[in-house]
Homo-oligomer: A and B are copies of this chain.
Amino acid sequence: MRNLDGDLRKYSLLTAICIALLMIICAETAAQPAGLMPLPHQMAWNSERHRLDNRFAISITGAPDTRLYAEASRFLQRLAERTGIFFKTWNVTAADRPKSPRLYIQADQQGKVQHGMDESYTLEIKSQDVHLRAASDIGAIRGLETLLQLLASDASGYYLRGCRIADSPRFPWRGLLIAQPYHFMPMDVLKRTLDAMALVKMNVLHFYISDDQGYTIESKAYPRLHQLAAGGPYLTQEQVRELVSYAAQRGIRVVPEIDLPGHCTAILTAYPHLASVKRDYVLQDHWGVFDPTMDPTREEVYQFLDTLLTEVASLFPDEYFHIGGDENTGRDWKRNDSIQRFMQAYGLRSTVALQNHFNRRVQAMLATSGKKTIGWDEVLMQEIDDSTAKARFEAGDFTALVLTDVPKDMVIQSWRGMEALLSSAKNGYRSILSKGYYIDLMQSTAYHYLNDPIPFRNNVIIPDSEANFNRFESEILRKVKAGEKLLGPAEETLILGGEATMWTEHVTPETFDARVWPRTAAIAERLWSPAEVRDVADMYRRLDLLSIQLEAVGSTHLKNAGMMLRRLSGTSNIGSLQELVGYLEPLKGYRRNAADNFTKYAPYTQLVDVAVADPGTLRNFNAQLDSLLAAPTPARKAAMRSTLQRWQILGTDVTRMAASNPSLTTAQGHASALSSLASFLLTHTGWMDPGKRLSLPEQTAFQKLLQEAERPKGYCTLGVAESLSRHLPAGHR
């Protein structure tokens, strides 16, 4: 309800009575349009259809930033791409005013692309015309995305479906982190990601620049950074400016991160004199947590950082600057006597306290450049092994684990658990949630979707396995389940939003899009739409349609699968492989990181790199299994038999293909397992009938097949094993 009242008063268009009559909370609306995501704050359909033809033209009034003209022209281009209509006017400019516009855009003032920007808009589609009204061009740009999602067609042609929408975001911070040092994403990947983010109304690109594996932008102040420590390609300063300007054009901020004082091997490779320990620094090409750390006790380190951060800050106009602060092992500090003496002299009893000292200096430095500092939750939280504090925390004292002296305008990005999120709010810090939005960990869209930055308010819990919860989380879960409200309204406003994080250890420019989309769209909806919007089935329905729209703005998440399978198999006949991949999921969590000798050069071109988290084929199979076991009609039985017969064919096909192709060994293993399951389930069809039972030897045989199917091969698992285990009544096994 945030901006709605203000908007309505401002435009004096809707009376309170109209609202009551017309507006229906979107979660209650049965018929949602095709791919609308995120769902608007409030919307109501009318029965009108705004028909499109080549005379469709746009009028812009008010005092918007010029970016709106470019975005309106781009809107026309995208509308033409989808409809094939040859519009008579293509360029929307301040100078040319169409005589009979169909779409009226009113944007009162120039939007500033900064935290807290006004993104609200209202939209009214009638058969005669369309009205989009916003306080600023940024709200209008958000509204244009909604409008494109309302495109529909029937036998008579294309139209925009009649409705009234009043929309504004639930959270002001809706971000995506892209880590450049592991696998560098070139400009074209970054730009198409920004286009896709804009499509789902995200507004922050968290641009992670520096880590042990590389420092990935040009530095004129310290050129050895990009010359010796980029670890591959880097963005020139001109490209950085182009990126920031491209993002601003879409109403997206770019927040840079230079990870300090750990995750610093790249900087220390270029400038080893800043290190805590003297050694030969070389760039990491493996993944993990490493010891190299800046020395926080020497003034020359702060002089270096002052110059460097001032330079980086000047490239990124955003008011916020991220200094990292995560995963400092502290080991190099313990190895250095001089640092130990410093800690004693200043009464710093732990490396965490020393890091806090460092953070405060860097924060003060950035403040002189007019920047607000963000850090990962380590910058706020004490070490978890302080048992007294831990006990107090468990007892509900959220201040217990918090460091003293952390400046109040430091923003906390919570990634490890819920402690930091709660503690920061309880202690008056603003925070951003990333825990539960780690899209690199291959979890399901539903998992991310139901993960709410304010879970306690709506009693929506993080649907991770409770078994994996730590004690804090279990305690919180207990309270939430008991209906306890942990934060007050003022504390809730300190939670700015969230960020999906794409750590790119196992991701290349080729696979990046399919690792980000469409799952991140569900996170975008979580952060934009009202908390009550949480119908998982409807989310998936809309996501499948949105996926095609994401593709239309350049995302390769659908089309690269075919390319990769053709390369893997050396043939164009990839139908069976593609079908098989639909049943596979990459290992969740960090299980791939722990395995094998992966580096930034390793090939990420194998079956696991084609497989996606939460594939549609698997979802469809699970639904088919659900409905069959719920009511085993003859038609459903026949459909299941037909699915299982397909599995047998996949087994044969893929085995044949793999005979002379070593890259398909993994695929062959999965296809065989699938085929064996199918053969068993087709022979012993009794499992489809609730009344019948498998004999004990049959149960044993089936268990063995399931185990083989569940066994990871090539870092993938066959998702059907889990659902078959779960769904088949115990008596059958």
Residues of A within 8 A of B (CB): 34, 77, 80-87, 90-91, 153-158, 186-188, 236, 238, 544-545, 547-548, 551-552, 556, 558-560, 562-563, 566-567, 570-572, 596-597, 599, 601-603, 605-606, 616, 659-663
Write the nearest CB–CB distance from A70 to chain B, whole angstroms: 12
Q: A90–B601 contact, CB under 8 A?
A: yes
Q: A603–B80 contact, CB under 8 A?
A: yes
Q: Which residue of B lies closest to A242 (CB)?
A: B236
Q: A80–B602 contact, CB under 8 A?
A: yes
Write the nearest CB–CB distance from A487 to chain B, whole angstroms: 41
Q: A567–B81 contact, CB under 8 A?
A: yes
Q: Which of B77, B90, B544, B566 contacts A572 (CB 8 A)?
A: B544
For A154, the chain B residues whose CB sits under 8 A away are 660
Q: B601–A80 contact, CB under 8 A?
A: yes
For A551, the chain B residues whose CB sits under 8 A away are 563, 566-567
Q: A84–B562 contact, CB under 8 A?
A: no
Q: B153–A662 contact, CB under 8 A?
A: yes
For A571, the chain B residues whose CB sits under 8 A away are 548
Q: A567–B82 contact, CB under 8 A?
A: yes
Q: A547–B572 contact, CB under 8 A?
A: yes
For A77, the chain B residues whose CB sits under 8 A away are 601
Distance in angstroms between the alpha carbons of A548 and B605 in the assembled complex: 14
Residue from A186, A238, A552 whose CB has the most chain B CB atoms within 10 Å: A552
Q: A86–B603 contact, CB under 8 A?
A: yes
Distance in angstroms between the alpha carbons of A91 and B285 in the assembled complex: 12
Given contacts A84-B606, A558-B566, 17 further A-B contacts (CB under 8 A): A80-B602, A81-B605, A82-B605, A83-B603, A90-B601, A91-B601, A153-B662, A153-B663, A154-B660, A155-B662, A158-B662, A186-B188, A545-B570, A548-B572, A551-B566, A558-B562, A572-B616
Write the nearest CB–CB distance from A571 to chain B, whole angstroms: 7
Write the nearest CB–CB distance from A31 to chain B, whole angstroms: 15
Q: A155–B81 contact, CB under 8 A?
A: no
Q: A660–B187 contact, CB under 8 A?
A: no
Write the nearest CB–CB distance from A306 to chain B, whole angstroms: 29
Write the nearest CB–CB distance from A389 to chain B, whole angstroms: 44
23 interchain pairs, CB-CB under 8 A: A34-B570, A80-B602, A80-B603, A81-B603, A81-B605, A82-B663, A83-B603, A84-B662, A86-B596, A86-B597, A90-B601, A153-B570, A155-B662, A187-B188, A544-B572, A545-B570, A548-B567, A548-B571, A552-B563, A558-B572, A559-B560, A559-B563, A562-B562
Distance in angstroms between the alpha carbons of A606 and B86 in the assembled complex: 12
For A616, the chain B residues whose CB sits under 8 A away are 572
Distance in angstroms between the alpha carbons of A187 and B86 in the assembled complex: 27
Distance in angstroms between the alpha carbons of A548 and B81 in the assembled complex: 27
Write the nearest CB–CB distance from A232 to chain B, whole angstroms: 10
Question: Do A558 and B563 contact each other (CB < 8 Å), given the known contacts A547-B572, A660-B155?
Answer: yes
Q: Which of B85, B186, B548, B556 contacts A566 (CB 8 A)?
A: B548
Write the nearest CB–CB distance from A240 to chain B, whole angstroms: 13
For A83, the chain B residues whose CB sits under 8 A away are 603, 662-663
Write the nearest CB–CB distance from A670 to chain B, whole angstroms: 15
For A602, the chain B residues whose CB sits under 8 A away are 80, 86
Distance in angstroms between the alpha carbons of A551 and B571 in the assembled complex: 12
Q: A155–B566 contact, CB under 8 A?
A: no
Distance in angstroms between the alpha carbons of A530 and B605 in the assembled complex: 36
For A186, the chain B residues whose CB sits under 8 A away are 188
Distance in angstroms between the alpha carbons of A153 and B568 in the assembled complex: 12
For A601, the chain B residues whose CB sits under 8 A away are 77, 80, 87, 90-91
For A91, the chain B residues whose CB sits under 8 A away are 601
For A81, the chain B residues whose CB sits under 8 A away are 567, 603, 605
Q: Which residue of B lies closest to A660 (CB)?
A: B154
Distance in angstroms between the alpha carbons of A560 and B558 in the assembled complex: 10
Distance in angstroms between the alpha carbons of A57 and B155 in the assembled complex: 62
Distance in angstroms between the alpha carbons of A547 and B570 in the assembled complex: 10
Q: A157–B82 contact, CB under 8 A?
A: no
Q: B548–A662 contact, CB under 8 A?
A: no
Q: A552–B567 contact, CB under 8 A?
A: yes
Write the nearest CB–CB distance from A243 to chain B, whole angstroms: 14
Q: A84–B548 contact, CB under 8 A?
A: no
For A662, the chain B residues whose CB sits under 8 A away are 83-84, 153, 155-158
For A599, the chain B residues whose CB sits under 8 A away are 90
For A547, the chain B residues whose CB sits under 8 A away are 572
